[in-house]
């Protein structure tokens, strides 16, 4: 029995074990997906342990995605651009390869609902690690119009100067941007509590009626509820979670992941926890 797991702190809330184990079981692979709560001071030892042949690798989640980049032997160009690793693969020689599957996971979740990133004008809320991953993804897909809005404008400016796009403050002035936005992405953690919103929800009135509001958190947030109430398409982050997990599965096993199985297990696990 080989092992793979999720390294983060905390990790008990994660849906990854539910859909990853379902995928391994569906293909009858002798692999167990585990949760490995790891405080920062234990991260180096936890990742080093992955060199043992028992392990296929790991997923990395907050707060360790950036730090994990420095503990792998080699990282993909994509992971280096994103400045973060969320998947580690143990290679046959025991070396550790780092990849960022959040990037293709985000894009796959867009394609799945018929959004072609190269054809839309995007506004991204936030300028942290998640926003960085979104910008890397959009650049890979050839998106030519990206605006990053953040309460601390300097952080947005630093991000766009490196990865492209326009930086604006996250306040009422965002309305002018939203008037020509096709896809609004919340890349902040605001809203996970089910009560807060990353911007003044009245600003959603500025969006065109065809616009899509995408919240990277995989629950029904006030932002998504407000978007639906205005007749806008609203998408949560469960699709990105499943697709990034599918990309990890492919790297660990060399096999095509059973997406339908993973989707069904992820939805069932979320529903069981009342997160939708």
Q: Is the dihedral of CA 238, 244, 250, 252 positive or negative?
A: negative
Place of tokens 């807060």: 196
Which of 44, 40, 54 minimizes the C-alpha distance to 5? Answer: 54
* Catalytic residue set: 65
Letter string b/e over residues 234-271, b meaning 16 or more CB atoms within 10 A of that residue's CB: bbbbbbbbbbbbbbbbebbbeeebbbebbbebbbebbe
How many H helices and E strands in the chain? 11, 12
Measured in residues, the chain has a length of 276
Residues 50 and 114: their CA atoms lie apart, in Å, by 38
């Amino acid at each position: 029995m080989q092992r793979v797991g999720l390294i983060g702190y905390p990790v008990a809330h994660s849906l990854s074990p539910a859909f990853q184990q379902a995928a391994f079981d569906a293909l009858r692979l002798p692999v167990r997906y585990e949760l490995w709560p790891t405080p920062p001071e234990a991260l180096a030892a936890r990742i080093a342990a992955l060199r043992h042949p028992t392990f296929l690798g790991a997923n990395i989640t907050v707060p360790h995605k950036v730090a994990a980049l420095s503990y792998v032997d080699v990282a993909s160009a994509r992971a280096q651009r994103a400045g973060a690793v969320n998947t580690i693969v143990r290679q046959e020689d025991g070396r550790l390869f780092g990849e960022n599957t959040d990037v293709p996971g985000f894009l796959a979740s867009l394609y799945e609902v018929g959004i072609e990133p190269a054809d839309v004008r995007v506004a991204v809320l936030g300028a942290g690690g998640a926003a960085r991953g979104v910008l890397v993804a959009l650049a890979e897909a050839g998106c030519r119009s990206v605006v990053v809005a953040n309460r601390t404008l300097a952080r947005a400016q630093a991000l766009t100067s490196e990865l492209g796009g326009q930086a604006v403050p996250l306040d009422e002035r965002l309305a002018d941007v939203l008037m020509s936005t096709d896809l609004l992405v919340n890349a902040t953690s605001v809203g996970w509590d089910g009560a807060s919103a990353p911007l003044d929800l009245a600003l959603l009135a500025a969006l065109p009626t065809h616009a899509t509001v995408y919240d990277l958190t995989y629950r029904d947030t006030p932002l998504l509820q407000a978007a639906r109430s205005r007749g806008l398409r609203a998408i949560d982050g469960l699709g990105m979670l499943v697709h990034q997990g599918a990309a990890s599965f492919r790297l660990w096993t060399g096999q095509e992941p059973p997406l339908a199985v993973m989707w069904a297990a992820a939805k069932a696990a979320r529903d069981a926890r009342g997160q939708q």
